[in-house]
Amino acid sequence: MPRLTAFLALAALLALGTAALRSFGAGPGSQAPPAASPTAPAVASPAAAPAPPATGNTFAARRLDYKVVGSYPHDRAAFLQGLVWHNGGFYESTGLEGESSVRRVEFPSGRVLRKTALSPELFGEGLALVGDRLVQLTWQSRLGLVYDRETLRPLRRFSYNSEGWGLTYDGKNLIMSDGSDTLTYLDPTTYQPIRRLRVTLDGQPLRDLNELEWIKGEIWANVWQTDLIVRIAPATGRVTSYLDLGGILKPALRDGEEDVLNGIAYDAQKDRIFISGKLWPRLFEIKVTD
239-244 and 62-63 beta bridge pairing: parallel
Alpha helices in the chain (DSSP H): 6-14, 19-22
**CB count in 10 Å sphere of residue 280:** 24
Tens digit of each residue's pLDDT (9 = 90 or more) over 197-224: 999 999 999 999 999 999 999 999 999 9
Model pLDDT, residue 46: 36
Domain ranges of the chain: 58-288
Contact status, residue 223 vs residue 45, Cβ threshold 8 Å: no
Helix (H, G, I), strand (E, B) or coil at 123: coil
Q: pTM to 2 decimals? A: 0.82
What DSSP letter does each residue of 50-77 carry, written as one string? Answer: PPPP--TTPPPPEEPPEEEEEEEE--TT
Minimal CA–CA distance to 152: which of 136, 169, 168, 173?
A: 136
Amino acid at 101: S
State the Cα–Cα distance between residues 53 and 225, nearest whole angstrom: 27
Residues contacting 283, CB < 8 A, separation 6+:
71, 72, 73, 74, 110, 263, 274, 275, 276
Tens digit of each residue's pLDDT (9 = 90 or more) over 252-274: 888 777 789 999 999 999 999 99
State the Cα–Cα distance between residues 74 and 200, nearest whole angstrom: 33
Model pLDDT, residue 58: 57
Model pLDDT, residue 192: 97
Contact status, residue 210 vs residue 221, Cβ threshold 8 Å: yes
**CB count in 10 Å sphere of residue 217:** 10
pLDDT at 3 over 60: no
Helix (H, G, I), strand (E, B) or coil at 201: strand
- Peptide bond before 108: cis, by omega within 30 degrees of 0? yes
User: For the chain, what is the mean pLDDT?
Assistant: 84
Give CATH for domain 58-288.
2.120.10.30
Tens digit of each residue's pLDDT (9 = 90 or more) over 8-39: 333 333 333 333 343 333 333 333 333 333 22
Tens digit of each residue's pLDDT (9 = 90 or more) over 49-108: 334 444 344 568 999 999 999 999 999 999 999 999 999 999 999 999 999 999 999 999
Tens digit of each residue's pLDDT (9 = 90 or more) over 150-171: 999 999 999 999 999 999 999 9
Question: Would you place residue 282 in the very low, low, confident or very high pLDDT band (cuts 50, 70, 90)?
Answer: very high
